[in-house]
Amino acid sequence: MIKAVIFDMDGTLIDSEKNYIVAWQKAVKQHQFHLTYQDLLGICGISSKEELDYLYKRLKSMDLVYLAIESSKQIFLAMAQEGMVKFKPGIKELLEFCKQKGISVALATSTYQPLARKYIDYIAEYSDSYFDVLIFGDMASNGKPDPEIFNLAQQALNVSKEECLILEDSHYGIMAANRAGIKVAWIKDMVDLANHPEIHIDLTFDTALEVKEWLIENE
């Protein structure tokens, strides 16, 4: 029986990945960065440190890397402020269901707290009251795919790993869940993870509403 659900933020809790890509595309066009659409997809779901390494391999200059990140960040924040970033479909219903059923809930994201706070504070539906535990990237020594963030969340929830379910949309996030030894559900988003033998997906859902239905069936 599942007693706790751990939510990734970007692409799982909030519908951010499509808007991230749009923000990056605008930054690429503005500064004429040599980054393809496939390059931009590769940024989704990786930690801040991984992002620096990933972009440096493509832009060959840390000055350009920092410019690219800052430009895309400011564009995305403007989009969020305009109300373009929202909960993913079914998330509010799932969070309310968990609260009604006494299922503990954690947020576990590689994004550092100051930036994550800027994103979620612009989402009208968001409230800290939905969560028993909040783990941000700057609370861990290592970002995903390292399992540390999920292990911290599970320990803070004070439930066994067998009683947890992680919700993720990204390759690195699922890899981190695998390394933590916790059951993971892939909620489909931008990147197709169906044929990646290096990761193990326990459950696959199109939306968070399907997660709610699965929890009801497995009470």
List active site positions.
8
Residue 203 region, left (φ>0) first, then alpha (ψ -120 to 50), else beta?
beta
Give me 111's structure tokens. 């994004």
For residues 15 and 85, is the Cβ–Cβ distance under 8 A? yes
**C-alpha span between 209 and 215 (Å, rounded):** 10
Number of residues that this document lists for the chain: 219
Give the number of other CB atoms < 10 A from CB of residue 206. Answer: 11
The one-letter code for the residue type at 163 is E
Q: What does the alpha-carbon distance between residue 13 and residue 122 come to, in Å, rounded to a whole number? A: 14
Which DSSP symbol is given to 168? E
Give, rounded to a whole angstrom, the gap between the first and last alpha carbons of the chain: 6
- Which stretches within the chain are classed as H helix? 17-31, 37-41, 48-59, 62-81, 91-101, 113-121, 148-157, 171-180, 208-217
